[in-house]
Amino acid sequence: MPINRPTESELIEAVVEFLQGEVLPQLNEPGLAYKAKVALNSLNIAARQSLQGDFLAQFESVLLGRYLNAEGSAEELNALLIDKIREGEVDSSDAVLLDVLTTLSLNKLAIDNPRYSTFKKYRPE
């Protein structure tokens, strides 16, 4: 049985709207208002991850698997790649590797901070 609506991201969005619209305007102490904004930002990250996270983890395992010629979860393949770097089998002169890592870090930033300057250079709004 699927879990009832609102979905995970819809619930987080409802909380974001409540905090933003009703709580934040009531906070007069600048330090507390700042922390509330940080908290809201964290909730927005969680909302984006709940929508994109599963797909991006799958995408990561496919991309890393193809580069490493191996199979496994994103976690396993990251660990395998790190082993290869630490053993000196690959290094940063590998342009294909840097392209793979660029795509993966852009995907992380799409969740963590799509307003980041370097992210916007690659994916303008």
Distance from chain centroid for Cα 113: 8
Q: In angstroms, what is the minimal distance from the CB of 66 to other proteins? A: 15
Amino acid letter for position 6: P
CA trace torsion 49, 52, 57, 63 (10° rounding): -140
Q: Which is nearer to other proteins, 69 or 117 (CB)?
A: 117
Q: Which is nearer to other proteins, 10 or 83 (CB)?
A: 83
Q: What is the DSSP string of 66-82?
A: HHHT----HHHHHHHHH
Q: Which is nearer to other proteins, 6 or 54 (CB)?
A: 54
**Which residues lie near other proteins (CB under 8 A)?**
35, 38-39, 41-42, 45, 75, 78-79, 81-82, 85-86, 88, 91-93, 95, 97-98, 101-102, 105-106, 108-109, 112-113, 116-119, 121
